[in-house]
Structure 1
Amino acid sequence: MSGIVGICRTGEKQLVEKMLAKISHRGTGGKRIFAKKGGVLGVVYQKGEKPPFLNNPRGTAVWDGRFSGDLDQAETDSPLALAALKGGEVFLIRDGLGISPLYYGEVDGTLVFASEVKALIGVASKIQEFPPGYKYLSGTGFQQYFGLKPVEAWPLEQEEAALRLRRALEEAVAQYTAGRTEIGSLLSGGLDSSTLAALARPQVDRLHTFACGMEGASDLEYAREVADHIDSIHHEAIYSLQDLWNVLPDVIYHLESFDALLIRSAITHYLVTKMVADYVPAAFSGEGGDELFAGYAYYKDLDPDDLNGELIASINRMHNTALQRVDRAASAYGTEAYVSFLAPSVVKLAVHIPVEYKLHAEADEEPVEKWILRKAVEDLLPEQALWRPKVKFWEGAGVEDHLADYAKTQITDADFRQERRLPDGSFLNTKEELLYYRIFTEHFGNLTDLDFVGRTKGAPKVPEPQ
């Protein structure tokens, strides 16, 4: 985990210092600023990790993520957000799925950029998300180099598809366990997190697993079962409604969003990551499994011919929703999240697996979501966890509608009608979202352009006024 900032103009070291201070939580172990012809770059990073910068006669670069060290190969590196200076020109790139965050704006017509929005507030008037799969070069502008699109399925038998998926996931996990004796894994007891934990366990001497939820939450029970099955060192935290209210302002500050469903999940993610920081510097997180293998309930309502396209669209929407949550929850405590389901090799294989293996039904039975993933790891997990139906993070952790119910007691119908229209002309969906937006403005002010805020598809909403 690291954080980068910069400006495409010489002599702005003081500004870069100021921007870095806003994201210092992303790296408390070290800081470097490079003032060169054509721009100034800055980076903060964690203690004990390989410093994420290079500075030699061939050029200067700072990055967040995994960089091979070769700028010519940066398009194949993931996750990655990178800025480089060479010969007075600035080069920026963000990985194809947007796993590593990056934002930009302008100061007097000059490009300025940072890993988080908060570093740009008060610096640039209009802040935008640097699009995934794009690169930028001074004098040339933005160019797209990658875009995930629907592809034809490979003619795979079920057994071959399951075997190849298992191997791809093992290799994706091994990229992060190599050379380590100890690592962490978030564990909700759902299929995706359980899969990564089970795959990581034999690759390290000690695997720490982490779960949290309200008293009686289903995630806690399933996580204990999986942890016992794989013999991990398990940690869990039980929180109350008051705990949720207490951390809500901090969650919104780090998340940089007011999207209701995203914040529900982010609160539990934030709380569990707090435990991670006490034991290990990094932990696996299961994001991407639902989008790659048809885990969400609404996929079952789609026409089979439309399913593949919607899965691709779902993956392409993750950069400013689920992946933003993962990044900000981890960075808030200076930890790192490993999303191995989104390793390039896994994604390439997954999009070519026939959709009937993902949402699979025998005879007249109800389709089983993520069926091919379950088959790929059926020897690793206890039966109950292996075939557990999909439960959203905030539901399994016991958050459910407690936050929405609380918002209804705090915001009147008249207040909602008066305040739900945002400065950019869009509308807040619910009273719950207005509650979050009020906190958002306390942190960041009344921003007139909110394009950088991702909105969850299918979120509950009150009809907009005509």
Structure 2
Amino acid sequence: MCGFVCLWNIGDESLAEKMVSKIAHRGPDAVEVVRGQGAPVVMAHCRLSIIGPEDGRQPIWDKGDLLVANGEIYNHADLRAILGESAFETESDSESILHLFRSGELRWIARLDGMFAFVLATKTRIIAARDPLGIKPLYMARIGGGLAFASELKAFDGIEVEAVEAIGPGMLYDSRDGLRQWYRTPHGAAEEEPGLDVEAVAGELRLVLDEAVAKWMLADVEVGSFLSGGLDSSIIAALAARLAPYRLKTFAVGTEGSADLAAAREVAAHIGSDHYEEVFTARDVARVLPHVIYHLESADVDLVRSAVPTHFAARLAARHVKAVLTGEGADELFAGYTYHHGYADHPHELAQELTRSLNAMHNINLQRVDRVTMAESLEARTPFLDRDLIDFAQSIPATLKMRRTDPEARESTGPTTEKWILRKAVADLLPESLVWRKKAQFDEGSGTVAALEEALMIVSGADAPLDRAAEAALYERLLREAFETPERILAAAGTWESEERVSAE
């Protein structure tokens, strides 16, 4: 895990150093700035050592080609075996990107399995690409006749550039061929086929989940797990506790007496993890709010609200581990949000909405998780967004995700249960009371909503709680104060929006 800057046809090492210094929090273990030999490129990299800690420094230089990468390639051992171990100079998983490119396969990038963003330069080409759902960030801008790439928007702050744009999820830019989409999220299935064996579907889902967690725990350092006490993080932590060759460390945060802290303790005791928790107050929230907004690179109300507990969880975890697993992605895959209940009798619309929300994660929840954890030099991993798990989950009918739990109830009556097939798949893994517990938003269960209301009064000096418009205005003011060129940040920021179905009845 790391951050990087790349300048193509811009021979300015001091500029690269200035830009990478603004994202140095992403990689405190080493910082390198390298000018290409024979290639018109300058690359800067700040590293958080996770795989190949002894010899995995970047940029990776080999035979005139230069590479910087952010993230993890989980199938790098398989790629080494296929490409030939003798070609590799380091133990870094990122080096497999370089040799796979050299293999000459037309769709070589599709062989990469993991979360990643990278820039690869040869003497005549620059190539930049991003993982299927955009778990890891990548931005591009033009400076004069050249191109600049960076892991975060703040690297461009105060620098004279043309419009900064994100390279989208599953996209690859090639200076020779332009931009292309190398990955497309499979469309979700809607209704069950006659005779579908639901038990078999749940059983297979469990196997795919097991494999995903095992894959995303790959590291040369210890990996911990966020544990809010909700279903998603509890599933990941429970599976990780079974797979880890050490006693898993879990991390929970909340206000005094919050539901999340109590639920997390129950889960930690059940799975036998080494559990850590931290209580925060409204004054703590007021103190960290400018820091959170600066690193989040967004003033969106919903993102800020959810980023606050993520910050405290990341700060706590970073004291003990370098990487953590999170439950991000389960709601989008298995219909976990409150508004999804409105689709209970409209499975085709639900399948479309889940696919849409998966494709929108990159600049909302995934941006929050990446920026806020990396601000604390912590790598966050999202096993629910494993490529094989996405493929399988999208093949599961929407009717098994949002399901009417009373088989005798007529259409449009009776209770509905979100993430039903996921709950069924893990029924033996966790206490029944948790498996079928109704979802609470992270900012609600952790007590952040009440603490934030008081914190906003402290920051603004108001005598009464702020309404949503005033809250949004305060976040935007804090963001503007944090950046030299705030319009550039605001223009690129994502906004959480649901396409709630309006009933025609």
Shift of 1:34: 2.7
TM-score (norm 1): 0.90
In structure 2, what is the Cα distance between the partners aligned to 1:272 and 1:445?
Answer: 29
Spell out the pairing of 1:308-327 with structure 2 (5 A cutoff).
308-327=351-370
SS at match of 1:92: strand
Q: 1:4·1:115 contact (CA, 8 Å) conserved in 2?
A: yes
Could you list the per-position Cα deviations for residues 45-89 of structure 1 after superposition, in whole angstroms to 9, with x for gaps in the alignment?
114543254211162211001244123533343311010011321
Alpha-carbon separation, structure 2, partners of 1:446 and 1:99: 25
Amino acid at match of 1:354: P
Question: Could you tell me how far apart the structure 1 residues matched to 2:119 and 2:129 are?
Answer: 7
- 1:217/1:397 contact within 8 Å kept: yes
Write the distance in 1 (CA, Å) between the matches of 2:379 and 2:122: 29
User: 1:404 and 1:125, CA in 2 relative to 1: closer, same or farther beyond 3 A?
Assistant: farther
Matched, 1:74 2:109: yes
The answer to whether structure 1 residue 275 and structure 2 residue 281 are counterparts is no
Deviation readout 1:315-362 (Å, 9 max, x if unpaired)? 111101100111112111111111000000000000000111101113
Is 1:454 aligned with 2:503?
no
- Measured against aligned partners, the alpha-carbon deviations of 1:112-159 in whole angstroms (never above 9, x if no partner) come to 110001101122242222211111111432112222242446855211
Note if contact 2:9-2:145 (Cα within 8 Å) is conserved in structure 1: no
| 8 Å CA contact 2:267, 2:430 repeated in 1 | yes
Contact 2:282 2:455 in 1 (8 A): no
Equivalent residue for 1:389? 438
- Label 1:65 to 1:180 Cα distance change in 2 as closer, same or farther (>3 A): closer
Distance 1:245-1:53 versus aligned 2 partners, 3 A rule: same
Provide the aligned C-alpha RMSD in A. Answer: 2.3
CA distance in 2, matches of 1:441, 1:178: 39
Residue 411 of structure 1 and its aligned partner are, at CA, apart by 8.3
Q: Distance in 2 between matches of 1:150 and 1:260?
A: 30
**Is it true that 1:189 corresponds to 2:191 in the alignment?**
no
- The aligned counterpart of 1:84 is 120
Q: Which one-letter code corresponds to 1:207 in the other structure?
A: L
Write the distance in 1 (CA, Å) between the matches of 2:143 and 2:183: 28
- Map Cα deviations across residues 270-308 of structure 1 (whole Å, 9 max, x no partner): 001111111111110000000000000101113332000
Bigger mean CA deviation after superposition, 345-354 or 13-22 = 13-22
Q: Quick one: distance in 1 between partners of 2:220 and 2:182?
A: 33
Equivalent position to 2:157, from 121, 124, 144: 121
CA distance in 1 between counterparts of 2:454 and 2:249 reads 34
Partner of 2:71: 65
Displacement after TM superposition at 1:401 (Å) = 4.9
Answer whether contact 1:103 1:127 (CA < 8 A) is retained. yes
Verify the 8 A CA contact 2:43 2:59 in the aligned structure 1.
Answer: no
Go from structure 1 to structure 2 and tell me whether the alpha carbon gap of 1:408 and 1:351 turns closer, same or farther (over 3 Å shift): same
* Secondary structure of the structure 2 residue equivalent to 1:66: strand
Contact 2:188 2:397 (8 Å CA) reproduced: no
Comparing 6-15 with 200-209, which one deviates more in the overlay?
6-15
Aligned to 1:45: 47
- Kept in 2, the 8 Å contact 1:5–1:43? The answer is yes
Match of residue 6 from structure 2: 6
User: Are the aligned partners of 1:102 and 1:114 in contact in 2 as well (CA < 8 Å)?
Assistant: yes
Aligned to 1:424: none
How many residue pairs get aligned? The number is 446
Question: In the alignment, does 2:442 pair up with 1:436?
Answer: no
Change (3 A) 1:53 1:346: farther
Name the counterpart of 1:463: none
SS in 2 for 1:442: helix
| Matching residue's letter, 2:358 | I
Counterpart-to-counterpart distance in 2, 1:97 and 1:181: 25
- How do 1:325-404 and structure 2 match up within 5 A? 325-361=368-404, 362-363=406-407, 364=409, 365-404=414-453
Aligned-pair identity in percent equals 38
Distance 1:277 1:340 in 2: 19
Distance in 1 (alpha carbons) for counterparts of 2:238 and 2:183: 32
What is the deviation of 1:406?
Answer: 5.6
> Secondary structure, in 3 states, of the residue corresponding to 1:286?
coil
- TM-superposed CA distance for 1:180, in Å, is 6.1
Decide whether the 8 Å contact of 2:141 with 2:149 is kept in 1. yes
Q: Where do residues 80-229 of structure 1 align in structure 2 (5 Å cutoff)? A: 80-123=116-159, 124-152=161-189, 155=193, 156-178=196-218, 182-204=222-244, 205-229=246-270
Residue matched to 2:22: 22
Shift of 1:447: 3.4
Native 8 Å contact 2:286 2:456 kept in 1: no
The one-letter amino acid paired with 1:287 is E
Which runs of 5 or more residues in structure 2 are unaligned? Answer: 77-95, 500-505
SS in 1 for 2:237: helix
Whole-Å Cα distance in 2 between the matches of residues 122 and 251 of structure 1?
A: 20
Look up the equivalent residue of 1:55 and give its one-letter code: W
Q: Which amino acid aligns with 1:439?
A: L
Deviations 1:195-252 (A, max 9, x none): 0000000112210010000112111111010000000001011111001001101101
Change (3 A) 1:180 1:376: farther
* TM-score normalised to structure 2 length: 0.84
CA contact (8 A) 1:13 1:40 kept: yes
How far apart are residue 265 of structure 1 and its match? 0.8
Q: Distance in 2 between matches of 1:276 and 1:329?
A: 12
Q: 1:408 to 1:247 in 2, by over 3 A?
A: closer
Distance 1:334 1:404 in 2: 28
Question: Contact 1:359–1:368 at 8 Å: present in 2 too?
Answer: yes
Amino acid at match of 2:225: S
Q: Give the AA of the match of 2:121.
A: L
The letter of the residue matching 1:392 is: Q
1:364-387 CA distances to partner (integer Å, 9 max, x unpaired)?
231110011111111110112111
AA at the equivalent of 2:42? V
**Secondary structure of 1:326's partner?**
helix
Distance 2:111 2:470 in 1: 43
Once the two structures are TM-superposed, the CA of residue 38 in structure 1 deviates from its matched residue by: 2.5
Q: Which residue of 2 aligns with 1:258?
A: 299
Which deviates more from structure 2 when the two are superposed, residues 52-61 or residues 105-114? 52-61
CA distance in 2, matches of 1:48, 1:298: 38
Specify whether residues 321 and 230 from structure 1 end up closer, same or farther in structure 2 by C-alpha distance, changes over 3 A only.
Answer: same
Equivalent position to 1:56, from 51, 55, 62: 62
| Letter in structure 2 aligned against 1:119 | A
